[in-house]
A and B are shown apart, each in its own frame.
Chain A
Amino acid sequence: MSGQKKTLTYLLKAAFVTLIYIFLYLPITMIIFFSFNTSKLNIVFKGFTFRWYSVMLQNTGLMSALWNTVIVAVSNVVISVFIGTLAAIGMFRYEFKGKNIVDSFLYIPIVIPEIVMGISLLAFFHIIKLNPGIITLIIAHVTFSMPFLVVTVRSRIAGYDMAVEEAAMDLGATRLHTLLRVTLPIIAPGVLAGAMLAFSLSLDDVIVSYFTTGPDSTTLPIYIYNKVKCGVSPDVNAMITVIVIATMLILFVLRTFETKNSKNDQI
């Protein structure tokens, strides 16, 4: 009786969890499914084709949207990592007046609604006469990514005994040398995690981009947003499929790399 009851609860749990995962994956699965459809409408599956993948390559609007998305994401990661890592080390190592205020500033972009950040940047770029385009888009992305980077790197350093830095300097290493050979290797995993976070925030953003993009800097989400109301053609589905597969591959590689690293750490 008790055994039966246990099996039953197990089955119920498994069914519930499976339903949630179906819910989570259904929309993306549909997009991928219809990228192989011969019909131009994403309604009924007429037959299998790869045609949309070559159509996609000739769609200049779509390709430039992809290009813009990549440029913004990569620039965002580079700038955020540079500014954010330095700030994280500096704020961890030194006590200074106004540190609390800097902390509050860092939390503003994390907690305010994205739409408010979007409109405030739109208004601000307008008065400083910076035309909306790829530059404003990169500035906006760094603004919401960099605080996350500081937080991620700082939580990583907090777990480390920084006395090794002093040890290095006592042994005659210069400040720069210590930074490059001791500090950076210690915080590298934190920086990598932060960089991945910044990259994904950039790829996932719709709202802030919507307000800070210009006509020549359309990114993929904005491109789709503009097209969705009058119908999206399947070459967009094909592009999304390529991106989804590429993301999964990158994540998989990074994950194996990470587990390998953490194993080395233990030895």
Chain B
Amino acid sequence: MSTMTTPEVMLLPPDANHQRKGIRLSRLAPLILMVSPAILWLLLFVVAPLVYVLVISFLKRGTYGGVVASFNFHNYLRICDPLYLNIYILSVIIAAGTTMLCLLIGYPFAYIIAKANPRNKNILLTLVMLPFWTNSLIRTYGWIILLRTDGTFNTLLTCVHLISHPIQMLYTNGAVMLGMVYTLFPFMVLPLYSSIEKLDHSLLEAASDLGAEPWRAFLRITLPLTVPGIFAGCIQVFVPTLGYFFISDLLGGGNSMLVGSLIRNQFLAARDWPFGAALSILLIAFTIAVIRIYNHFSGSSLGNI
């Protein structure tokens, strides 16, 4: 789950600036004691592994799956192979489709919840989050029960004679998209909800007093003011979709190979770590680019990268 959080304004005790120059060891010691475990942890298990991945992305695959030290750009050139191009195109289509669907369903949904009366609002919001306390893989398994050829949907549809033969629902791109929308839906709803809730209601009243039709007021006021929420929601759905290999694996079978499954296979099945590392670096670069674009357009910042 990659929830993005806006860094909060840092408040400092009033004397911090005064003493900055002459920090004595007695003042420094508690700071080191408090912050260094976290810093060491992050250096060891976040920075070092990522640097290692960057390094092996320039190396060569060994005969038995290991890594051989020989500097080259081969892995990055291989990314452009038409064989893999189709995988990226399919991934982007599915990720974009998932994002659009989440937005189209999520916006009216978040709007209705944000405008509900305060007591219901909390209950409605909790009800959105509640299923997400159950593991996403378990919920994906629930979809398999529903979508299988002999599953609940097909059985029900055959019983009411809407279809004569079970139709293929599982192992299709549609099933993958459904699973993605289902899993990432709250990541769209939460930012939308908070941006709609913050909306100054008097603006809409002013618009209606001045004779604006409700739909016009929505297009000219509500929608532009909630753009940051829309952006944040879209990023939080689009980026994870590229990496959620277990959903495309379980609901798409062999039929939909996405970037996530490709990376997984390089590390576990094909044991071509350098190529998998190059694909991962590309995914990081893409993520950073998306976040930068977001920061540029929204004015606020999503992390300091």
Contact = CB atoms under 8 A, between A and B. Distances in A.
A187 interface: no
Interface in B217-249: 239-240, 242-246
A171 interface: no
B216 interface: no
B128 A87 contact: no
B38 interface: yes
Interface string A96-135: 1000101111111111111111011111100100000000
Nearest to A232: B141
A28 B136 CA distance: 10
Given A21-B127, A119-B53, A30 B145 contact: yes
B45 interface: yes
Given A26-B142, A94-B31, A111-B4, A106 B9 contact: no
Contacts of B37: 82-83, 86-87
B138 A127 contact: no
Contacts of A21: 127
Interface residues of B, number: 93
Interface string B202-221: 00000000000000000000
A115 B260 contact: yes
Contacts of A84: 38
Contacts of A111: 2, 4, 287, 291, 302-303, 305
Given A94-B16, A107-B304, A122-B267, A116 B38 contact: no
A1 interface: no
Interface string A19-51: 011011111111100100000011110000000
Contacts of B137: 206, 221, 224-225
B255 to A, nearest CB: 14
B124 A87 contact: no
User: 9 tightest A-B contacts by CB?
Assistant: A27-B142, A90-B34, A87-B38, A107-B303, A124-B49, A120-B49, A115-B243, A113-B243, A90-B35
14 contacts: A16-B108, A17-B109, A24-B127, A27-B145, A90-B35, A91-B35, A93-B31, A113-B287, A115-B243, A115-B280, A148-B3, A211-B267, A225-B137, A228-B141
Given A84-B38, A96-B35, A154-B8, 17 more contacts: A21-B127, A27-B142, A28-B138, A30-B152, A31-B142, A43-B155, A94-B31, A95-B17, A100-B304, A108-B46, A108-B50, A109-B46, A123-B277, A143-B41, A206-B135, A229-B250, A244-B134
